[in-house]
Amino acid sequence: MKERKPALFIIAPVVLFFDQLSKFIVISNLSLNQSIPLIKGIFHLTLVYNRGAAFGILKNQLPLFIFTSLTAIILIYLNYKKNKEKESFCYNLSLGLILAGALGNLIDRIFLGYVIDFLDFRIWPVFNIADSAITVGAFLLAYSMLKTKQKAARP
């Protein structure tokens, strides 16, 4: 029987590809701070360079962000190696999303010195696909861990 590839090794490269492609398209078509309404007043494409973390906090702390991203990537890899046979699809999917997001923003930080953000809902700070992958991955990880804990608690 053919071995199935874990979600981590499928989702991470796909999400990373779309993150980097979308950033390339946006920087090729918009100038800094230019905004194009897709749904006027609700959803715009707005090119910003984020030199901070989430919501722009801790601006200009590039070495800290690179170190944090590399640490997260290493921890994901080590956790996967340790638990690859035991964990669920949801757990591996969550790790793949977080890994892709961490790599996507790390690539920006290493090569540009900032992260390219462009998804603008006007009521939330501008973000990108990598940020979305990290957020969704974190929620899935929490859900997966809660389910595992519930299973372990059953008699």
Q: Give the whole-angstrom CA distance, residue 91 versus residue 7.
A: 9
Residue 131 known to be catalytic: yes
94, with CB counted inside 10 A (0-12, 13-18, 19+), is: buried
Residue 19 known to be catalytic: no
Q: Considering 19, 108, 120, 131, which one is annotated as catalytic?
A: 131
Q: Considering 19, 108, 117, 120, which one is annotated as catalytic?
A: 117
Q: Give the whole-angstrom CA distance, residue 123 versus residue 128.
A: 15
Q: Give the whole-angstrom CA distance, residue 53 versus residue 62.
A: 9
Q: Which residues are catalytic?
A: 117, 131
